[in-house]
Structure 1
């Protein structure tokens, strides 16, 4: 379902994953209305949401400047890898940014990804986790004004002091130093990563055998095996992660995925036979 068309191909396609979380998704979509970089489309990867999500998307399309493509399949449990692959195929741009329907993007978020994109690389960002009380308190006005990204505002809502708060304030040299020194690997993180569509297709997208737990990292590991490198933008591309329960998390799925990732690494696999294209 595409509700608005553009006259030209966007410079970047942004995939947002969601599942029956329209309250959070609405906040996320308003954050993209506030972006300084405007030439993008949103492709919503919907893992089987019910009618309220359809209604929200239809309403938001009337209120935002960017086109929305709604990619949906029937609910069959946690099948994020499958719906992400379907969304990848629908992307019109040659560069893809992936995030989640619980991550509010700062106004410069898309611009940072655009400025740092480079042939032969993918970009790895992180998120700033919020507690449930602040997640609920954020309004459309807070997003459009960008108050929700300002430490004084967040602290007025109960945010505690932490080294992690540097994610929201680091600029210039400090930002570059923290990106360099962070012990976190520059992996493909489904909530904040971007890369060339041609590279993602070259590794056949996500492995659809994988459910919750590291399917995004495994995609990045195959990109590495293909010869693609990564760049760390953890302190540059900022998004706020809204809190929510994770009823789909289970150890059996995590263990299965760890075994698939171990095989990807040991066999140095760049291609999965369980991705966008299936071998017969």
Structure 2
């Protein structure tokens, strides 16, 4: 299976360096990375060049900074990818050492993968960023339990790797899609025209994507105990009221192929015709 990780990025080079270190140490190195940059300054491009020299297979897409337009730049990355299977994530989430391998094993035709992340609290995030605690410590069962008890991690159980049969049973419980950890066949996300670029500003685009993938006929496959990410702490953001209103309006229209996605707006009539059949 040909896999590409598409990582949405916006500045934050110190955290992103930790994230790229996580991809350097993957147990399965048969993947490529695309950095989908929503208008960062030159530090992110330099980081990409540095990690290319370290051995990561990287390509880079940049768009001008004009507010939060993650959906647009990720769509460009999807459109230009040559991979069969895509893992969508963010540049503040460190992958566990089995992250890519787990996504490969979890992928099924007719399904998309809803992964999860462990949240680091401020104290542990500071130690990771200062390199006082190496990211390899996140591989340790004992360290995870200790940090969960000490208050350094939230939802640490997501990172524990039960036997595969137990993980399969755990995965039967429904779980909402999280934008930082999505696995999807490229042909499936192209079929619904990618993310809806009308969502500008934080939040909404992943929820919209999930209901459209389901309306297209796909099933969600939760990944608990597998394909884990470690989210580096930052103050929590909330979905805007505008995004909530847009979500409801779009659901009422019932179009799972958005006219505001990867295809150009000139194709809107053709897209709408597909929805009607």
Length-normalised TM-score, structure 2: 0.86
Flag structure 1 segments of 5+ consecutive residues without an equivalent.
1-9
1:123–1:186 Cα contact (<8 Å) kept: no
Displacement of 1:165: 2.5
Residues 230-241 of structure 1: pairs in structure 2 closer than 5 A: 230-241=220-231
Is residue 263 from structure 1 mapped to residue 249 from structure 2 by the alignment?
yes
CA distance in 1, matches of 2:148, 2:172: 31
Is the Cα contact below 8 Å between 1:125 and 1:235 reproduced in 2?
A: no
Distance 2:168 2:153 in 1: 19
Structure 2: tracts of 5 or more residues without a match: 267-277
SS at structure 2 position matched to 1:180: coil
- 1:189 maps onto 2:175 in alignment: no
Aligned length: 261
Q: CA deviation at 1:51?
A: 1.1
8 Å CA contact retained: 1:13, 1:96: yes
Alpha-carbon deviations, 1:134-166, whole Å to 9, x = none? 1121239823xx212435335369843888322
Q: SS in structure 1 opposite 2:256?
A: coil
State the match for 1:203 in structure 2: 192
State yes or no: 1:85 paired with 2:71: no
If the length of structure 1 is used for normalisation, what is the TM-score? 0.85
Q: Which residue of 2 aligns with 1:6?
A: none
Q: CA, structure 1 residues 259+40, in 2 after alignment: closer, same or farther (shift >3 Å)?
A: same
Q: d(CA) in 1 for partners of 2:110 and 2:132?
A: 37
1:180 is aligned to 2:172: yes
Secondary structure (helix, strand or coil) at the match of 2:168 reads helix
CA distance in 2, matches of 1:63, 1:110: 18
Q: Which moved more, 1:164-173 or 1:201-210?
A: 164-173
1:42 shift after superposition: 0.3
Q: Does 1:168 align with 2:154?
A: no
Q: Give the CA deviation at 1:245.
A: 3.6
Question: Secondary structure of the equivalent of 2:265?
Answer: coil
